[in-house]
Amino acid sequence: MTVPLVPHTPSLPLRYPLTRHADQVDDYHGTRVADPFRWLEDDTAAETKAWVEAQNGVTFGYLDRIPYRDALRTRLTALANFPRYSAPVVKRPWSVFAKNEGLQNQAVYYIQHEDEETPRVLIDPNTLSDDGTTRVTGLTFNKAGTRIAYMLSQAGSDWQQIRVLEVATGDPLSDVIDWVKISGIAWHGEGFFYSRYPEPSNTEAAFSSMNEDHQVYFHTLGTAQSTDVLVYRDLVNAQRFHTVSTTEDERYAVLAISDRGQGKDGNALQVMDLGAPNGAFTPLWTTFDDQMDVLDNVGDQLLVLTNRHAPNQRVVRIDPAAPDEANWVTVIAERSEPVSGMSIGGRRLFATYLKDVTTRAYVHALDGTLEREIALPGIGTAGGFEGERDATAVYYSFTSFTAPITVYAYDIATGQSTLFRDVALPFDPSQFETTQVFVPSKDGTRVPAFIVARKGVVLDGTNPTMLYAYGGFNVSLPPNFSALRVAFLEQGGVYVQANLRGGNEYGEAWHQAGMKAHKQNVFDDGIAVAEWLIAHGYTCSAKLAIAGGSNGGLLVGAIMTQRPTLARVALPAVGVLDMLRFHKFTIGWNWIADYGSSDDAEGFRYLYAYSPLHRLQDGVAYPATLITTADHDDRVVPAHSFKFAARLQEAHRGEHPVLIRIETQSGHGGSSLSKQIAEKADEYAFLFQNLDVTPVFA
């Protein structure tokens, strides 16, 4: 099947594939909405595959003509070529860590005995697929430290497979668990709990069909998955998540149940005493309006992180035998800053908070007594601080915009941090500096943003600038390091990371201010930051690019459709762009808690008002746009990007290209380093070409 091409504009040679219109109209609470590109939702159809091939032909034909594209890829490859380590996971006498030598597609997992000087390879994902797109997504020891269960993802998919290794030898066991999604690995004795969906009736549609009926099973080592015991299933509420964890001593199994498909942002809890004969899950918390996360047990009581009557979260102690809220004991009270992490190690609670989006870390006794603040290596982002109950030290990672992820060991007795894994970079990050600014949004709210640029950047309004943001799902964007970003900064680029409402930068109130009917606040915040950058001489509209992925792709789509002349370049990646149908695919119904739903009349009203797909207007000159998505993205299915690209190419009447780049064997993020580099090279090449910047390479 071939797809005919139509001219881009009379002045340019680009020709876009002609996308067929179908006679599809839906009635939403009395409003008729056309959906002519509905057929692109079928990613397995021959016509869709032909359309994808035609679109990629146009896009890569355009990118191939950019003269410095190969030089960009070479530079990005050089920048990425340095060893990178994870913090170790310790189960004495063993420790496991991940290391990428530099240009390996996937980090390799090593294991080391405390009496040995040299680690050995435990899992090398690079050997598990020809193209390096199989990755490890979770790994955990059993209580005895004799077995490790781990998860694998193929080609970037959210579908997982669980496998098991013998620790002492590294030999694989026969156990293989399929169709796992939204799951932990919760060990208990000679087996573990896990969560899965039923095997799809049509496996070809496994990357787009709706996921329902999330079940919990128990797997006994050495047995076939078909004999696993069903532990929990809800036949009434098909769109709930059910995940199980076990406490470190394996006394309790905790079942967390969320109902986000009904717009609930919290979770219920049930608990099982694994030492009791014929144990069963019993309710600990039964409503879905508050977040409840069991950290571990102290004897017969549970330590729980919750935002119940504490929007910035607190830690409480709950007795499963008397779980009424009146009996809760506050262990760590809510602070004015939001919790960014809470973990346990060495019989201590490690609490990290966000202070204007940078980390502060504290150590508490298990009764909540504050022992000390941890002196971090600088102003940036720290996380980890996990260990066994008898640990004398825990490990954490630290990073900033100009400091790569570096691992430190924290001595619990002395309170001292020491460098554990240093990082040697093939470039000098000290030539760049970070500034934090606070921008008034449309309604006066102060929105923080980090600005990263060469030292002494001249504010003459001509700097190529990339504004990146997310703004949703209670997710924060703290300082982070990217070697690939340096390729942009080296060319005089200014990178701006804005902390919009909808995230967790200032706690649950900040989150709720960017949810559901308040989502327009997020877009207003992003627009305000862009206008501030222009007003203060960092850039101008002709030199500005806006970028974001997933929910951030929605942000880009909303800004470019509401303010098409604000930025010259738009880079929506794996974006949620059809706000009327996002809940019809895979686990999209999970996002109703943040977005609302078009099935509800009020939800339809505000979703339709900003849905990027539906706000595109014929005859408008939109920014130069490179939409990116992937064929194995089963989180935000590529249909969002397909339909948006088709409508954008139809509506656009400007001189700038509007293209879609569709990666293969990849998912909701680059499935391998080589694919990440290739996509970033194309993104930067497109950006420089359309910001009229000619990069210079030493």
pLDDT digits (tens, 9 = 90+) for 393-440: 999 999 999 999 999 999 999 999 999 998 999 999 999 999 999 999
Q: What is the pLDDT of residue 665?
A: 82
**Average pLDDT, integer, range 99-106:** 96
Domain ranges in the chain are: 45-78+427-577+619-630+654-690, 335-424
Q: CA-to-CA distance for 19 and 646, rounded, in angstroms?
A: 6
Q: Is the pLDDT of residue 8 over 80?
A: no
Residue of 245, 652, 668, 674 marked active site: 668
So what's the pLDDT on residue 10? Answer: 35
Residue 468 contacts residue 271 (beta carbons within 8 Å): no
Pick left, alpha or beta for residue 491 (phi over 0 → left; psi -120 to 50 → alpha; otherwise beta). alpha
Please tell me the distance from the alpha carbon of residue 226 to that of residue 329, in angstroms, as a whole number.
43
Kindly state the average pLDDT of the residues 161-165. Answer: 98
Measured CA to CA, the distance from residue 35 to residue 616 in angstroms comes to 13
Cα separation, 414 vs 421, in Å, equals 20
Q: Active-site residue among 550, 597, 641, 666?
A: 550
**Across residues 273-295, what is the average pLDDT?**
95
Cα torsion 503, 509, 510, 513: sign: positive
Residue 315: helix, strand or coil by DSSP? strand
Q: Is residue 48 over pLDDT 50?
A: yes
Query: Is pLDDT above 70 for 1?
Result: no
One-letter amino acid of 293: D
The tokens describing 359, both together, are 């980390």
Structure confidence at residue 279 (pLDDT): 85
Per cent of the chain over pLDDT 90 is 93
pLDDT band at 633 (very low <50, low <70, confident <90, very high): confident
Choose the weakest-confidence range: 5-14, 401-410, 598-607: 5-14
pLDDT mean over 506-513: 97
Mean pLDDT of 73-102: 97
Percentage, residues of the chain above pLDDT 70 = 98
With 80 as the cut, is the pLDDT of residue 13 above it?
no
What average pLDDT does this structure show over 641-663? 97
pTM of the model: 0.96
Query: DSSP class of residue 560?
Result: H
Q: Which two tokens stand for residue 496?
A: 């701006």
User: How much is the average pLDDT of 621-647?
Assistant: 94
Let me know: does 124 contact 130? Beta carbons within 8 Å: no
The overall longest dimension of the chain from CA atoms, in Å, is 78
Residue 123 pLDDT greater than 60, yes or no: yes
Q: What is the mean pLDDT of residues 55-77?
A: 97
Amino acid at site 593: A
Q: So what's the pLDDT on residue 660?
A: 98
Would you call 261 helix, strand, or coil by DSSP? helix
pLDDT higher than 50, residue 9: no
In sequence order, the β-bridge partners of residue 97 are: 110
The phi and psi torsions of 100 (rounded to 5 degrees) equal -110, 125
Q: Do residues 570 and 652 make contact, with C-beta atoms less than 8 angstroms apart? A: no
Average pLDDT, the chain: 95
Q: To which H or E segment does residue 627 belong?
A: strand 624-630
- pLDDT for the residue 172: 97
* DSSP bridge pairs for 386: 395
**CATH superfamily, region 45-78+427-577+619-630+654-690:** Alpha/Beta hydrolase fold, catalytic domain (3.40.50.1820)
* Main-chain dihedrals φ then ψ at residue 72, nearest 5 degrees: -65, -45
| 352-364 confidence digits (pLDDT tens) | 999 999 999 999 9
668 in catalytic set: yes
**Predicted pLDDT at 2:** 54
Give me the DSSP letters along 531-545: HHHHHTTS--GGGEE
